[in-house]
Amino acid sequence: MHAMHYLDHNAITPMRPEAKAAVTAALDVFGNPASVHAAGRAARDLLDHARAQVATALGARLPEIVFTSGATEAAALAIRGVLGAAPAGREDLVVTSVEHPCVLGLAESLRAGGRNVTVLPVDGRGVPDLAAAAEAVTPRTALVCAMVANNETGVLLPVRELAALARDRGALFFTDAVQAVGKVELDVRTLGADLLALTGQKFGGPRGAGALWVKSGLRLAPLLGGTQERGRRAGTENLPGIAGLGAAIEAATARREVERRRVGALRDRLEAGLLAAVPGTRVNGSGAPRLPGTLSVTLPATDAEALLIALDLEGICASAGSACHSGSTNPSSVLRAMGLSVAEARSTLRLSLGWSSDDGDVDAALEAIPRLAARVQAEIPAA
């Protein structure tokens, strides 16, 4: 039986001990936070504490934090909420071509419903063209969407510049910060955004708990009616999940610089080793600033799905791109937007490291990937 080596932190991270402890403790707090009795007040205290932890990590004010079931709901609330409250004549949406499927899928749905949607191109590094953005954002634009860091390549997008451009044109700006929280510095007081989404499962928290930061004074049409979260998100709060989210974001933020250096060194060793061992390997996003733990590599003349199965049999967990698209026969839209061919996109692995990664994970990957890539290459008939 092989030991497990987990190189898929961008899909989901192992829970941090602090988050596990917070979830477990919250299971005993059974009151409804909306109730006025002692049990309800205890639940409200726990909710307020988690809200303070998230707000502190982002440089936000407590009332600006809206708890959700995760980033997909947070993104939908941000996009539909802004568009639903936008004044007549400001109805258009602008998104980058490398957004997460939860944003691009919603944009396509809105386009099918008659909404004017512009998709910004990116260069070969995966960075949006600011000149194209300047042309795309018009007096009709209600909202511009650009993620802080791409989930497949780790490329950091120029969000401050894009947010400033949106603000200059009178549009609002939403950023998906899911992969960035706990890995790079994020302060909503200087970022320039109006809305920001995150989810606990990407930085050591439990799944099923996320948050949307909404700048004070911003009008947002709720997805569902109800009084919770200041009328912005209906439904009784997932208290154990939210408690775990708060504990995880506090721990991730406190250790961010130490983990950034340590995880970055592991990623750099993995990258250098694969480039040396597998001829023709290409690093996607190379030349652009990237997250410390993300490595997207195209291994020529291989098949990523076959390689992932072989790696799994040896206890190594990785992915071929966005975990949300795992099992799909369609090649990665992010890699295609960056100019990769269908064959290249289907020959690409995403290896992502995080807070629990160590040298043994890198050693195992460097031993197995070149060997298994050569085997897969030999089994694929020449074109």
CATH at residue 284: 3.90.1150.10
Residue 210 pLDDT greater than 80, yes or no: yes
270 within some domain: yes
Cβ distance 195 to 214 under 8 Å?
A: yes
Those residues whose C-beta lies under 8 Å from the C-beta of residue 189, and which sit 6 or more positions away, are 59
Structure confidence by residue, pLDDT tens digits, 6-64: 999 999 999 999 999 999 999 999 988 989 999 999 999 999 999 999 999 999 999 99
Mean per-residue pLDDT, 314-320: 96
For 248, the 3-state DSSP assignment is helix
265 within some domain: yes
Q: Answer yes or no: 324 catalytic.
A: yes
82 within some domain: no
**99: buried, middle or exposed (CB in 10 Å: 19+, 13-18, 0-12)?**
buried
Enter the pTM of the model: 0.95
| pLDDT at position 380 | 73
Residue 166 pLDDT greater than 90, yes or no: yes
| pLDDT at position 225 | 75
Residue 353 pLDDT greater than 80, yes or no: yes
Q: Which of 102, 145, 317, 324 is catalytic?
A: 324
Residue 325 pLDDT greater than 50, yes or no: no
Instruction: Please provide the average confidence, as pLDDT, over all residues in the chain.
Output: 94
| pLDDT at position 382 | 57
CA–CA separation, 3 and 364 (whole Å): 10
188 within some domain: no
172 within some domain: no
Largest CA distance in the chain: 71
Mean per-residue pLDDT, 81-108: 95
| pLDDT at position 326 | 47
Phi, psi of 274 (to 5 degrees): -70, -40
**Which residue range(s) make up the domain with 279?**
5-13+256-379
38 within some domain: no
Q: Which tokens hold the place of 255?
A: 């250790």
Residue 125 pLDDT greater than 60, yes or no: yes
Mean per-residue pLDDT, 115-119: 96
- The partner residues of 94 in beta bridges, in order of sequence, read 118, 144
196 within some domain: no
287 within some domain: yes
Structure confidence by residue, pLDDT tens digits, 218-252: 989 888 877 788 778 878 899 999 999 999 999 99
Looking at the 3D structure of the chain, how many domains does it have?
A: 1
